[in-house]
Chain A
Amino acid sequence: AQKVTQAQTEISVVEKEDVTLDCVYETRDTTYYLFWYKQPPSGELVFLIRRNSFDEQNEISGRYSWNFQKSTSSFNFTITASQVVDSAVYFCALSEGGSYDKVIFGPGTSLSVIP
């Protein structure tokens, strides 16, 4: 069965610090997709990234970067030089190759960036 764990419930950092949000997943499939979503205080869900299981290259987008390691079943998300606008709940999610229909979310990590 698929499962996503985000062990960090809440994180607080001071503005301009770097912060890494952890995501560990479980799946029996060799083909799967991983996602990160952001939910700011306004409540909407914003897509950040999608990565398939065959692409282990790390990705950088501005201040955001993602580290995908199949060996440890992790898909961690780092924000460099954090800003107050980064304060949000961040969700990691997984869909398995055999049942692409279902996207399972982790419990989320609430990030507070203090000015």
Chain B
Amino acid sequence: NAGVTQTPKFQVLKTGQSMTLQCAQDMNHEYMSWYRQDPGMGLRLIHYSVGAGITDQGEVPNGYNVSRSTTEDFPLRLLSAAPSQTSVYFCASSQTQGSATQYFGPGTRLLVL
């Protein structure tokens, strides 16, 4: 199993540009989530999904959209990037909801100029 994969590993955007961060898992996990990591603030939950077709907001959802059309994929969309969205983004999945162990992807480092 590849586990949780994320692409790209690194991306530079200009303010106002849009892009999609990809996340995929091959473990048939129902629960997937997106976090952003900023210095001194730990990981903050952006959006999560408890299964295909179901998504919900986390702590810091503004400026991000998600969808979950399949169990395997959970893309994160930035519609109009802002410098405040410069961060490292982690995708995670787990067999069940938050009580289970989460497996994290390697992260995507995003720089918005």
CA distance A50 to B102 in the complex (A): 10
22 CB < 8 A contacts A-B: A4-B42, A35-B101, A45-B43, A47-B101, A47-B102, A47-B103, A50-B100, A52-B99, A91-B43, A93-B43, A99-B98, A100-B99, A101-B56, A101-B98, A102-B48, A104-B59, A105-B35, A105-B42, A105-B44, A107-B40, A107-B41, A107-B42
Neighbour of A105 across the interface among B43, B50, B99, B103, CB < 8 A: B43
**Which residues on A sit within 8 Å (CB–CB) of B40?**
9, 107
Interface residues of A (CB under 8 A from B): 4, 6, 9, 33, 35, 43-45, 47, 50, 52, 91, 93, 95, 99-108
CA distance A35 to B48 in the complex (A): 18
CA distance A8 to B90 in the complex (A): 23
- Nearest CB on A from B27, distance (A): 14
Give B41's nearest chain A residue, CB to CB.
A107
- Beyond A9-B40, A33-B98, A47-B103, 7 extra complex contacts between A and B, CB < 8 Å: A6-B42, A33-B99, A44-B104, A100-B97, A103-B33, A105-B35, A108-B42
Give B54's nearest chain A residue, CB to CB.
A101
**Which residues on B sit within 8 Å (CB–CB) of A35?**
101-102
Give B101's nearest chain A residue, CB to CB.
A47
CA distance A19 to B52 in the complex (A): 43
